[in-house]
Amino acid sequence: MGALLSLATGAAGLALPLVARGLIDDLSHDRTITGALVLMSALVVANAALGALGSYVLRRTAESVVLGARRALSSYLLRLRIPAVDRTEPGDLMARVTSDTTLLREVTTDSLVGLGTGGLTLVATIVMMGLVDPVLLGVTLAVIVAAGTVLGVIVPRINKASRRAQDAVGVMGASLERVLGALRTIKASGAEHREEQRLHAAAEESWRQSVRAAKWAAAAGNTAGLAMQIAFITVLAVGGARVATGAVEVGTLVAFLLYVFYLMSPIQQVVGAITQYQTGAAALTRIQEALALPAEPSSAHPAPLPAADAEPAALAFDEVRFRYDDDLPYVHHGVTFAVPPRGMTAFVGPSGAGKTTVFSLIERFYDPESGVITVDGRDASDWDLTELRSAIGYVEQDAPVLSGSLRDNLLLGSPEADEDAVTRVVKTTRLDGLVDRLPRGLDTLVGHRGTKLSGGERQRVAIARALLRHPRLLLLDEATSQLDAVNEAALRDTVADVARTTTVLVVAHRLSTVTMADRIVVMDAGRVRAVGTHRELVAGDPLYAELAATQFLATTG
């Protein structure tokens, strides 16, 4: 619709020189000019009204394109596979969603539609000029072709500079995200000045490339303007000579000069569309690069959470080999173990043994290079991803808390949970005292990344969030590392109670957690070296006995 309105605007403008020629002829022959004046006035009003409406429709369409791109890209980024996120700077991805998508409006309205309507108007104007006087048209086209040759050299430079400017914006976004994500560490290290220089360097590079693009865009625009001025002077000179010889009438020359004036608008529109397209195309390339990153399959609807009385899950690893990237060493060298449904299994071993990676593979954040992982006897890769994850409750090592209210964080994985369930899990995880102290209870905002909560409180929030899902398989990665002795004992009892009806896997470094486990998997250098109870392993595995005597504190067995 916007393109059609723009074309209608152009048609109204194209009719004006013809009406003007008729008006001059009427004056020359002493005829009334009332009709011509009324028609010209109507054309001017129609031109303005259609132009305003067309501009609004096009800009509304452009904003809709930006909205659609942001929705599509943000949805896609949420489904990115974890390895793709590991290799990409989050700040750069944020820049692609925000600043790059904004530039799409230039591709939509000012560029693609502008190129189409401006091009059609340009062609129509040239046809009308040919009907008025072919000789003067030839003079005009010669000037336009010369200007087009110059523009052909300039336009690629605009694209190159625009792409570099957008890349620099992405680098700056990545640097800023890096700084804000560790601002306390940077301040404590006295590194503000160095990080400031890094941010400023990225900003200056974006400025430098944007100025370069602006320079070439200005050159392109002025080339078009200069060409039209030369065309006007040339037409005036050649046309004046033709009028003097009687080859054409004055009205024809006036009409042709009006068309030359009118030609300026579509030519500048086309040149502007081409230059702006270079900026938008650079942004579009970056968006397409993000959409080409590997992503998990999407699901139309989230899978329902397990019922409170759902059967616990069984789990097994069979000769699983895994590494985080092709140029990195293997983390798992043929890991094999089996976990029956119900009960607690603890994973212990030195740092770097591959314990946390076990949980990442269960959640299918990564896929093993070889070997098989089964859940309920079924290959994990055969499960629908949302169905698999809906059966799992996962408490990460750093227990992340999102900005928002405490209630939002608790309901993150189970938005349909009722108030009674929330109250029960808050009491179970000993968060009730915290809720009572907070000014707005569960609706109190916890700050960016939960900065208003202590480390232990964040861990309890993460555990409560997992328990609300009624998981068939509960993964706890160092879930009590930041708790005091009293809260740790309470949560240990809670986990023991959950283990009676759920399969619980725990990565543990504390003896108190390990001794209560039904089975212990000892890992070392990416392999399972022993499986058994605490007493069996103290007596039968030297590494575990050493860990029990040192890292787990002293024990008499």
Residues in the chain, how many?
557
- Three-state DSSP at 133 gives coil
- The contacts found for 238-247 with CB under 8 angstroms, 24 or more apart, are 238/135, 238/136, 238/139, 239/133, 239/136, 242/133, 242/135, 242/136, 247/135
The Cα–Cα gap between 258 and 241 comes to 18
388-392, 454-458, 515-519: least confident range: 454-458
Q: pLDDT tens digits, residue range 50-75?
A: 777 877 887 788 888 888 888 888 88
The Cα–Cα gap between 191 and 180 comes to 13
Q: pLDDT tens digits, residue range 368-408?
A: 999 999 999 899 989 888 888 888 989 887 777 887 888 88
Counts of helices then strands in the chain (DSSP H, E): 21, 10
pLDDT confidence tier of residue 110, bands split at 50, 70 and 90: low
What beta strand segments (E) does 78-181 contain? none
What's the predicted TM-score (pTM) here?
0.70
The Cα–Cα gap between 349 and 531 comes to 12
Q: How many CB atoms lie within 10 A of CB 82?
A: 15
Decide the pairing of beta strands 315-322 and 332-339: antiparallel
Handedness of CA 25, 27, 33, 37 (dihedral sign): positive
Terminal CA-to-CA distance of the chain, rounded, Å? 81
- Report the percent of the chain where pLDDT is more than 70: 94
> What is the average per-residue pLDDT within 196-224?
81
The Cα–Cα gap between 493 and 513 comes to 10
Work out the burial of residue 463: count CB atoms within 10 Å of its CB; fewer than 13 is exposed, 13-18 middle, 19 or more buried: buried
**Contact, 74 vs 97, CB < 8 A?**
yes
Handedness of CA 151, 152, 153, 155 (dihedral sign): positive
pLDDT confidence tier of residue 127, bands split at 50, 70 and 90: confident
**Contact, 209 vs 164, CB < 8 A?**
yes
The Cα–Cα gap between 267 and 434 comes to 68
Distance set, CA 171 to CA 85, 175, 191, 241 (Å) = 15, 6, 19, 60
pLDDT confidence tier of residue 556, bands split at 50, 70 and 90: very low
The Cα–Cα gap between 446 and 434 comes to 12
* Run of H or E residues at 378: strand 378-379
Helix/strand/coil percentages in the chain, nearest 5: 65, 10, 25
Res 22 pLDDT > 80: no
Query: pLDDT value at position 9?
Result: 74
The Cα–Cα gap between 168 and 157 comes to 17
The Cα–Cα gap between 306 and 376 comes to 14
Q: What phi and psi, each to the nearest 5 degrees, are found at residue 303?
A: -70, 145
> What is the average per-residue pLDDT within 431-447?
85
Work out the burial of residue 417: count CB atoms within 10 Å of its CB; fewer than 13 is exposed, 13-18 middle, 19 or more buried: middle
The Cα–Cα gap between 229 and 496 comes to 86
The Cα–Cα gap between 277 and 106 comes to 7
Amino acid at 511: L
Q: pLDDT tens digits, residue range 303-356?
A: 777 776 778 899 999 999 999 888 889 999 999 999 999 889 999 888 888 888
